[in-house]
Structures are given as structure tokens and as C-alpha cells.
Copies of this chain bind each other. A is one copy, B any other.
Amino acid sequence: MLDKATNTTDVETLMAEIGRKARAAAKPLAIATTEVKNAALLAMADAIEANAATILAANAEDMRRAEEADLSPALKDRLKLDESRLVGVAKGIREVAALADPVGDVIAAWDRPNGLEIERVRTPLGVIGVIYESRPNVTADAGALCLKAGNAVILRGGSDSIASTRAIHACLVEGLNSAELPAEAIQVVPVTDRAAVGEMLKGLGGNVDVIVPRGGKSLVARVQTEARVPVFAHLEGLCHVYVDKSADPEMARRLIVNSKMRRTGICGAAETLLLDTALDRDLKRALVTDLMAAGCEVRGDAGVQALAADVKPAQEADWSTEYLDAIISAREVDGIDGAIAHIDRYSSNHTEAVIAEDPAVVEKFFNEIDSAILLHNASTQFADGGEFGMGAEIGIATGKMHARGPVGVEQLTSFKYRVRGSGQTRP
């Protein structure tokens, strides 16, 4: 049974109240010690394991509605929880507890000739709004990460997963209560009205500092277009791999299959292969046929089509398509300059890789391409906060303001200056 606000004014009032409660909770959270925050996180993980039966029953209710609504198998898979997925959720929260606390960290410190001692110190951002779709585990992941960085969070999950979300949220609140942190530090929007999202995007009267959308392109596009507060997001991951004539052949073959085929549905999957015209022709053919042998459709320009019989012709739209599937676009380019020109034109500024042994080529690629993540001789599938050693991530950002690349606990902070004097006046 879902609550429904009866009209727009109700939703506005409700959301404004949620915003005020989040802002009020943010204050004690900002000064909570690492020990208290970690105690809350560990209690949350315990509560999720202790209440597994309740959560799975709630999830079964969501799954029943999903069946009735005839959702796609992919959506149902995202929605589904089982014992092993729940163990993973609890483990994820414990990993966040194990991360270093960014709050209070001295980022930089220097002294002035007049004796002033200046420190730049990390502080929480304040209130984070997370808008997501059907994955119920986002409730726990996002709640835990925001708490670790000392932020209050307002979670707005999809209507498909509302019962699961509420059941998980109850466990998070149990953890907050046990550590005597305010229960409003992690709130779930209790209504499924689309208008609630609109209110969050307007910033709840200054009570939301940043919005993180988690979901498909249409959700992210809506958030980026309508939000009146900063957004940490990427619209798409149109990742390129450029193979230079100086590439190590065996390495190139391994990296390209992994970049495209390890998992095709993630934002770090390669979508376009750029082959140096000067690359050995047999190697070019091997790179393309390896992909096809692994089950990937290749859409190529004339040069790539000439390499193997099954290559389909690429259309202009292919260069700007994020397939998120076993399909890749491929073309020949005139060395590193041709690769940079193509990437400048079509990239989504997420992740690009260069496979080369020539250091001048690598430096040019690293200097001139302005994407969040640039990789040399490594798979694009490493574009991930966990793989970067940053612990869990709440998302990957392609904007250039504040956060860029994986958004982990550090990126969910701001900073302030602490200046220690001994009576200095300004002349």
C-alpha cells in the first residue's frame, strides 16, 4: 500500500518539511565523531542481516507488483533481492565504515610571513539528494556513503522498489538510533508522486546542496535540465580506445576485448575503437575478429569494413551512440592527432584509453584530452571508484565543477579555512 499525497500543495509542504528536517539533522552529523558514525554504520549492517526475512518479504511484494505491471526482465533483475544480495548490501556498509573519515582532514596547510597559520580542512557538504530508479541496494549504499562524509541525505527511490526501500531504510534508521544520531539524517521520500522529484530539483528552499541521480539516461537528463542545485552525474559513458601504431599487439588484443566485453552495460565499457591507420594490418584484423569472436557486433568505417567480412557499415549516429550492449563502432584515424580530433568531437568526457608504447603519444593523449579519466595500457572498465581505491562510489561525474570522475566520500565534502593568529591586525 503506497501513501499518496492528494495534490501538489501537499507534496510541496511534505517535501519542504523533509528538507528542513534534513538541514537540522546535518548540523549534529557534521560534528559527529568517526567512532559514532562508524558505530551507526555497523549497526545498520547488523540490522539488515537481522531483518533479512522482513526485507525479502517486502521485496517479494515489489516483485509481485512488477509481475502485474509486466516489467522487463532487466528491470526485474535490478529490483530482485535474495539472501546473497542482502549479504552484499551489509558487506558494502561495513566497507564504508572501514573507509577513512574525510571530515576534519587537513587538505593543505601553510604559514604566512606575519605568523598566521592557515589550514584548509574538509567539512561535510550538508544535504545530499539522491534520485534513483529500481535498485533497492542504492538506498543502503547512498545512505552509508553520505553518513560517512557527515551529510544528511534525502533518498527518492523508484516507485517499483518502494517496499524494499522502506524495509532497508528502517534498518538504516535502527543504526542511526543505536548511535544516537538523528533519525532524519537518512530520509526516504514517502510518496511516489513525480512532483516530489520536481521539488527536490528546485532544492527544497535551499535545503538540498547537491543532487546525485542514479539511473538511466532519461532520468539523468531530466535532473541535469531541471535542477536548480549542483548535480554530480554523467549523462553517458561514450568511452574510446585508441590503438597507436606503437602498441604492443598482444596487450592491445587483451585490452580491447576486456574494455568492451567484460560487462557491456556499465558506463566504463568501450563504445568506439580508434585504429591508427599506420597500425599493422594483420593486428587491425585480429582486433576486430577477436571482438566478433567474443560475440560483439562491429560497425566500421570503410577501412575497418575492409578488414573482415562481417563488419557492418557504421553510420554517423554510431559515433555518438552509447550502446551499453555487445556492439562497438570502429574507425581508422590518422595517428594520435586523428584520435584526439575524433574524441574531442564525440566524447562524453567520461573515460578514454590509449594503447601505445611511444611515450610522446601517451603524453599527448594525457595532456590534450579533457575527459575525467584517461588510461594508458589499461582497460576502460577500471573507471570505477572501487578500482581506483577510493572505496565505494555514489556515482561518476563528468562535470568539471567540484567532483569529477568517481564520486566517493572525499568528493561528498567541502572545506573551510582555519586561521590561527597571535593578535595580528591587518595594516
Are B401 and A402 in contact, CB atoms less than 8 angstroms apart? yes
Which of A6-14, A248-256, A283-291 makes up part of the contact surface?
A: A248-256
- Residues on B with beta carbons closer than 8 Å to the beta carbon of A367: 31, 104
Per-position 1/0 for A369-392, Cβ under 8 A of B: 011111111110110000111000
* A423 in contact with B370 (CB, 8 Å): no
| Interchain CA distance A10-B362 in the complex, whole Å | 44
Question: Do the beta carbons of B31 and A368 come within 8 Å of each other?
Answer: yes
Separation of A104 and B367 alpha carbons in the complex (Å): 8
Cβ of A426 within 8 Å of any chain B Cβ, yes or no, is yes
Number of this chain's copies in the complex = 2
Asked, given contacts A248-B423, A262-B425, A423-B377, whether A417 binds B382 with beta carbons under 8 Å apart, the answer is no
A377 touches B420 (CB 8 A): yes
- Give the interface size bracket for A toward B: 35 or more
Whole-angstrom distance between the Cβ of A100 and the nearest chain B Cβ: 13
Given A388-B118, A402-B402, do A374 and B416 touch, yes or no (CB 8 Å)? yes
Which residues of the other chain, B, contact A118 by a CB distance below 8 angstroms? 388-389
A116 within 8 A of B: yes
Of residues 379 to 427 in A, which have CB atoms within 8 Å of B's CB atoms? 379, 381-382, 387-389, 400-402, 404-405, 414-426
Taking a contact as CB atoms under 8 Å apart, the answer to whether A377 and B421 are in contact is yes
- Asked if A400 and B414 make an inter-chain contact with CB atoms under 8 angstroms apart, the answer reads yes
Residues of A within 8 A of B (CB): 27, 30-31, 104, 110, 112, 116, 118, 123, 125-126, 209-210, 230, 248, 251, 254-255, 258, 262, 344, 362, 366-368, 370-379, 381-382, 387-389, 400-402, 404-405, 414-426
Main SS class of interface, A? mixed
Q: How far is the CA of A118 from the CA of B377 in the complex (A)?
A: 13
3 nearest CB pairs, A to B: A378-B421, A258-B425, A400-B414
Given that A378-B423, A387-B112 are contacting pairs, would A366 and B255 also be in contact in the complex, using a CB cutoff of 8 Å?
no
Judging by beta carbons under 8 Å apart, are A382 and B116 in contact? yes
B262, B404, B421: the one within 8 Å of A416 (CB): B404
Given A400-B125, A401-B209, A401-B402, decide whether A425 and B372 contact each other with a Cβ distance below 8 A: no
Q: Is the CB of B251 within 8 A of A423?
A: yes
Q: How far is the CB of A107 from chain B (nearest CB, A)?
A: 10
Residues of B within 8 A of A422 (CB): 377-378
A418 contact set on B, CB distance < 8 A: 366, 374, 376
